[in-house]
């Protein structure tokens, strides 16, 4: 069994600040030090409360927005857009590699993690074999795979709405091309127990590549113990996807990365479709990685938001998928989720309608600002008490 040697949080170093400046982020290091005082504030992205505004709790964004250091670095660099991003991509990949304990060639940088999920689906399609995953999981890999003609095998959830890891492992056979896992799972929010996940990845990756989507992992209680990059570092056919859209609050700026065997990363790079990473995303991403205080603040803030959602469901008397660990809850509304979502929309609150058709009465609701969750709570109460 490989043990995780990763430090809990990236520690900013003089060297990485220098790298950031060397990446063409002229003035960014100055901006970083200038902003360090404000970096600990959990700044709502939108602090003016408009009672008629649409509250969006369907997209799993971070409503508190990016690190102030990222915002400053982006502003500082706005004049440098005429340059291509290649050297900055390399600097960013080096920074990520150091943080994750892998080689820079094992880091594939993309605009958001969606392209990693899609490129992996295409890669499996070319290599052949089915993708084994769970029912009620994120569609990024399965949907693209199915469109390309790859068969996807969905193993049912366990009684407590977790992945059935034994059944998934048992289903892997000669017809399998890869396994996709989302941890914590979107939409249930369930995590795979760390020991079980490590044993699974260790064993199954001897047979087929295993993809672990860690979009929400840094909000889970067990983070960083359940980070799977150690298997990539050990040279196993394991792919880890991470994103700046969630805890780093940069969904609109588009930045993500995949960790994987260097030859697989090269195969994917060669398609030429992934070279669309944007400069300001990289600049913001590097500053975000330096701002560990903001990261910790966001982790605490998002966990508090998740607890507020759990309390809302309890007050509404509605069951949720137990022990959610992402930035959302998955709730049984006792009526078709599409009708519920439509009624919520009438009240200016957007939640997920029927997206996972196996569970038509379940909706996913994500963390918003406190007043947004309160508005959602009031709207849901009105709807659910009138049925």
Ligand X SMILES: Cc1ncc(COP(=O)(O)O)c(C=O)c1O
Q: Contact positions toward ligand X, by CB under 6 A? A: 60, 112-114, 117, 138, 140, 182, 186, 213, 215, 243, 245, 251, 256
Q: Tell me how far CA of residue 176 lies from CA of 213, 241, 260, 345, in angstroms.
A: 19, 21, 19, 41
Query: What's the half-sphere exposure (Cβ side, CA atoms, 13 Å) at 274?
Result: 26
Query: What's the half-sphere exposure (Cβ side, CA atoms, 13 Å) at 294?
Result: 29
Minimum Å distance from CB 386 to ligand X?
31
Does residue 351 contact residue 364 with C-beta atoms inside 8 Å?
Answer: yes
Strand 256-259 with 107-110, pairing: antiparallel
Q: Which is nearer to ligand X, 85 or 327 (CB)?
A: 327
The contacts of residue 59 (CB under 8 Å, 6+ apart) are 251, 366
Q: Which is nearer to ligand X, 102 or 251 (CB)?
A: 251
Measured CA to CA, the distance from residue 209 to residue 145 in angstroms comes to 15
Q: Which is nearer to ligand X, 134 or 186 (CB)?
A: 186
H helices present in the chain, as ranges? 14-22, 28-35, 68-77, 86-100, 114-127, 140-147, 165-171, 194-204, 229-233, 262-270, 279-290, 292-316, 337-346, 370-385
Q: Which is nearer to ligand X, 113 or 133 (CB)?
A: 113
Minimum Å distance from CB 254 to ligand X?
7
Q: Which is nearer to ligand X, 35 or 212 (CB)?
A: 212
Minimum Å distance from CB 365 to ligand X?
14
Minimum Å distance from CB 147 to ligand X?
17
Q: Which is nearer to ligand X, 114 or 275 (CB)?
A: 114
Minimum Å distance from CB 384 to ligand X?
26
Q: Which is nearer to ligand X, 85 or 253 (CB)?
A: 253
Minimum Å distance from CB 120 to ligand X?
11
By beta carbon distance, the residue nearest ligand X is 112
Minimum Å distance from CB 113 to ligand X?
4
Does residue 376 contact residue 63 with C-beta atoms inside 8 Å?
Answer: no
């Amino acid at each position: 069994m490989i043990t995780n040697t990763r430090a809990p949080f990236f520690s900013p170093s003089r060297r990485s600040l220098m790298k950031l400046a060397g990446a063409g982020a002229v003035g960014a290091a100055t901006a970083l030090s200038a902003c360090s005082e404000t970096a600990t504030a959990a700044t709502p992205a939108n602090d003016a409360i408009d009672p008629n505004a649409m509250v969006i709790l369907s997209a799993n964004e971070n409503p508190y927005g990016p690190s102030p250091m990222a915002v400053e670095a982006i502003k500082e660099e706005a004049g440098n857009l005429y340059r291509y991003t290649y050297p900055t991509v390399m600097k960013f990949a080096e920074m990520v590699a150091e943080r994750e304990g892998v080689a820079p060639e094992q880091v594939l940088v993309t605009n958001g993690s969606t392209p990693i999920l899609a490129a992996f689906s295409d890669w499996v399609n070319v290599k052949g074999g089915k993708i084994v995953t769970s029912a009620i999981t994120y569609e990024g890999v399965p949907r693209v795979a199915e469109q390309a003609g790859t068969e996807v095998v969905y193993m049912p959830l366990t009684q407590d709405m977790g992945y059935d890891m034994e059944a998934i492992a048992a289903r892997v056979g000669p017809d399998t091309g890869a396994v996709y896992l989302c941890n914590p799972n979107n939409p249930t929010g369930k995590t795979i127990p760390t020991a079980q996940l490590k044993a699974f990845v260790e064993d199954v990756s001897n047979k087929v590549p295993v993809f672990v989507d860690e979009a929400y992992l840094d909000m889970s209680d067990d983070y960083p113990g359940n980070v799977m990059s150690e298997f990539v570092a050990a040279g196993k056919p394991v792919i880890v996807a991470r994103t700046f859209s969630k805890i780093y609050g940069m969904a609109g700026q588009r930045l993500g990365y995949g960790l994987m065997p260097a030859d697989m990363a090269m195969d994917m790079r060669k398609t030429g479709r992934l070279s669309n990473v944007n400069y300001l995303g990289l600049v913001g991403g590097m500053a975000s990685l330096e701002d560990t205080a903001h990261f910790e603040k966001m982790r605490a803030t998002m966990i508090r938001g998740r607890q507020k959602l759990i309390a809302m469901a309890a007050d509404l008397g509605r069951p949720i998928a137990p022990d959610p660990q992402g930035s959302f809850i998955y709730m049984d509304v006792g009526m078709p989720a599409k009708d519920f979502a439509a009624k919520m929309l009438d009240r200016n609150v957007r939640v997920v309608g029927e997206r996972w058709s196996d569970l038509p009465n379940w909706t996913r609701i994500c963390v918003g600002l406190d007043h947004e969750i309160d508005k959602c709570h009031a709207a849901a109460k009105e709807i659910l008490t009138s049925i």
